[in-house]
Amino acid sequence: MNWTERRLNGHFAAELIGPRLSPGQPQSVRDAVYEAVTREGVVVVRNQDLSDNELEGFAASIGLVMSYPGLGVHIPNVVPLGNVGPDGKLLPEDGDFMRASLANMLWHIDSTYTHPRSTISMLLGKIVPPSGGETEFCDLRHAWDRLSTEEQTRLRGMTASHSIIHSRTLTGYHDWADGVRERLPSVDRPLVGEHEETGRTALLIASHIEKLTGLTSEATVALVADLTARAATPDNIYAHAWQPCDLLLWDNRCVMHRATPFEASRYPRDVRSTRLVDAKEMTTA
């Protein structure tokens, strides 16, 4: 490929320097970007001035674009996130959307609470604040490798129930529209997974976990907090400082992420999100 890779952390995350993902790029380039994401866990590609249609087109060229389920309203395949409303004005911090979005600052994995789940997530920075608002990632393969054999044996047999209702509750959000709770039941997933493309083992932990098999609610909270703290150590974190037109791609099967604060009452932030769906799970949905 006509680009270079620069490692961003000692063992995961890379910047691809040189590629342009605009329409017209050969499929081989698109496939190579996908391969880099599954290998590195996180990939940064800068200077990607893409429209929503172009971002969705790129995503569709490497996988099946995910439709956001369960809310009972139409949601486009490319979702605007941040604090900018359709009128271009800053959203009120005490508004429904901003309050619900606070849970994005908890360590989580996208769409573990849906079936089928998401494999690759993409986030394109249109407008970014001059400081703050970093997106942090930690490598759950490395976190698994650092566990003792005894811990690995114990965790392999556990199942976790994932719920977006639960993770929003952790930040005090309870104002769901009528019927949404019923459309978003919890989803059970193994606590440990094998990555399809690389064969590596990874933890599947997230703030969405409300219950672990065989444990009380209190013990579940304690174990998830312990595993999260041990995964998100400084040496196992890549913190992305945004520049306009940055495109971030990450693999939800092997990394966990969170947003960090910025002065939302002062600076606009407009990022666009799209995800690929796990085609394997669609056959059992």
pLDDT of residue 284: 56
Query: pLDDT for 49-76, tens place per residue?
Result: 999 999 999 999 999 999 865 454 456 7
Band (pLDDT 50/70/90 cuts) for residue 25 is confident
What pLDDT is recorded for position 97?
79
Q: Which residues contact 255 (CB under 8 A, 6 or more apart)?
A: 12, 41, 42, 109, 137, 138, 139, 140
Task: Give backbone dihedrals phi and psi of 204, rounded to 5 degrees, phi first.
Answer: -125, 70
pLDDT tens per residue, range 91-106: 998 888 788 888 899 9
The pLDDT score that the predictor gives to residue 69 is 56
Res 174 pLDDT > 90: no
CA distance 245 to 274: 15
CA R_g for the chain: 18
Average pLDDT, the chain: 92
Q: Is residue 146 scored above 80 in pLDDT?
A: yes
Orientation of helix 52-62 relative to helix 27-40, angle to 10°: 80
- CB of 124 within 8 A of CB of 246? yes
Mean pLDDT of 237-260: 98
- Please give the Cα distance from 60 to 39 (Å, whole number): 20
Given pLDDT bands bounded at 50, 70 and 90, which one contains residue 183?
Answer: confident
- Quick one: pLDDT at residue 285? 47
Taking a C-beta distance cutoff of 8 angstroms, is the pair 196, 204 a contact? no
Residues 6+ apart with CB under 8 A from 263: 129, 131, 132
**189-217 pLDDT, tens digit each:** 999 999 999 999 999 999 999 999 999 99
The burial class, CB within 10 Å (0-12 / 13-18 / 19+), for 169 is middle
Q: Which of 40-49, 171-180, 251-260 has the lowest mean pLDDT?
A: 171-180
**Given the structure tokens 């609470």, which residue do they identify?**
113
Q: For 252-266, what is each residue's pLDDT tens digit?
A: 999 999 999 999 999
The pLDDT score that the predictor gives to residue 19 is 84
Across 61-65, 88-92, 109-113, 173-177, least confident range = 173-177
User: Do 35 and 42 form a contact (C-beta atoms < 8 A)?
Assistant: no
Q: What domains are there in the chain, each with its CATH number?
A: 4-282 (3.60.130.10)
At 21, is the secondary structure helix, strand, or coil? coil
**E strand or H helix at 270, and its extent?**
strand 270-277
pLDDT above 90 (res 32):
yes
